[in-house]
Structure 1
Amino acid sequence: MKRVMYLAALSVVVLSCNKTNKTEQTVVESEQQTEEVVDAGATLQKGSDFDINSLTVSEADLGVFPFLTLPKGLRTVNPLQKKYDICFFPINGVMTSFEGRLYKANITAEDGEEFSQRYFEKSLEEYLVSVGAIKIFDGEITKEAYERYTKQDPNKGDQGDMGYADQQIRCYVIRSKDQGNIYIQFTANNAGGTLNILQEEAFKQTITKVSADDIQRDLNDKGKSILYIQFDLDKSDITADGDESVRQITTVLKRDPSLKIAIEGHTDNTGNAAHNKELSKNRAHAVMQSLIAQGIEKTRLSAKGFGADKPLVANDSEGNKAKNRRVELVKIK
């Protein structure tokens, strides 16, 4: 009887020990799994470790820019699309500039529908993962990060803008075999979403020196040639670069001794109108005097200033104002 009781007690102790060992093993395995998940997440979001060349290359067929459609039932509102521009993406929370082909859009629901933040985010995330995109950031932009970059962003406040303080942003990168590096970021709430896509590209310089051939072709085909001759600021003194343009005009006039031109000066609408008209007249005369000094007869030339009276485009941006500060050569028949 005592032997039976002893064996029973021993069995209880063994079972208890086995149970304890299994419980401890389960806890250890669970802790190891948790550590693995945390480590993986931290690695993906460490901006200091981000290196585009270390990412796996995606061989997925992405289609054409901007590479994805919107989820069914959603639409854009006047998206911003530029062949080349700058956009800032959060690398470890630091808004970092990348350049290339750009797409930025505000996203809303179709008429009569309610926008779902969850539907928008889940649709994008699942699709991006399916084509080999890697999440590099998922978090908030700090006030300091916003203030550091905001004045550098030429598209701040335009369609599809994001990157404001305390805004939650998710950012993915696709290192595509055929399309190069593609950056995608989006944010949303229950009112709507915002989506940015940039296909990274190197800048290609398209400005070339104006040549006599260009001027002659424009005069023959259009009857006028538009030049951006360099002058000293708010003066009629021609700079060294401007002298080169004048030499090209001289070449055209010497090629065709019968050619006569009117030299017309133009400004933007900044400042006093009377001053601008006088400045444009003096600049046109400066070009004419330089041509005469290079052997062109005065009888073949005339000069007049129009100030801001004849703009090429509206003076509503610095870029457009620069286009209006010009000299036009008009062929006299």
Structure 2
Amino acid sequence: MRQSRLLIGSTLFLLLLSACKQQDTSPAATAPVETNTPEAMTEKPAAPPAAAAVEAVAPKAETGFSVENIPLSTGTLPPFPFFDIPEGLAGKIKVDKSTVGFARHFFLAGKKMIPVEGRLYHNQMSLIGPDKQREYSTTEFHRNYKDAVLALGGAEISETQFTRPIVDEVGGLREVNQYWRSAPPTSGYEHHSYLIRNADKEYWIHVGTAAARPTGYLVVLEKQAMIRSLGFLDASAMKSALDTEGRVSLHINFDTDKSTLRADSQAVVDEIKKLLDANAGLKLSIEGHTDNTGSADHNRQLSSARASSVLDTLVGLGIDPSRLSSKGFGPDKPVADNADESGREKNRRVELVKL
């Protein structure tokens, strides 16, 4: 009997011990005890899975620069070019030479260079005044112009400095330098770009400095289309040139580095159509040419695309495509010296050649 009691007691003890072990291995028993945790924190859902955490730190996509994102200035702007020379300094460029009726300049916008055309003011000044009584640091020079632009309702559009890839993207230093009027577009110089917009105008501003020989540069450009001062050949004059020379050179405007005809070139294309309509047996080769700036291969492709664009426009106006052909020569057949802008302008042309 005693042995039976001992056996029963041992069995009960083992059962109780097993139950305790099962309780100890439950999540509640094994979880660490947290102290000083606010109640609100304990009610939050569990952390998201690892994939969601990766998504949270993914970099934002580059949105790029857009003129439309720059707020409009609502104030009254002073007369162009808006800004005086800083007190104590003197401009190196004479007043009658500082403004160009129409020109191109490259501006840093976002992380890219953008070519802009229009009326342009430019000047440069030693940051040590002529009497050497007033000297500006590059920081003070930039800050003066930044404050002035912001006071007119403008905005800074780039603090990016020039790098080789940025310059190469628009054709390289050779392409940029032919239009350049500021501190050299290379490393070692400081550049800041600004934009002032109102209801119907854009004013692009470039401030640059050179530290080695303390110099400040200012460019202000009022964006606008060129006012054409040269008349174009009408159908009769084209016919006369083709009869005597076998070819006629036309200046047809395209969008920068594109084959898209500008609206102001439509009148020239209309005259070519009149020429072809009046001379049913006439066949023409439309030949595109460029100056020597930028890559020769790129210019050949561009001139070919532009000649083809003129052909396509004429076909769209009803001209039989069998009467037309097109080709591009790029910089290979210049008619003037490319050393200056006057010569380069003559080389950028479309020729009609009688077949």
TM-score, length basis structure 1:
0.48
More strand by share: 1
Whose Rg is larger?
A: 2
Larger % of helix: which?
1
TM-score by length of 2: 0.45
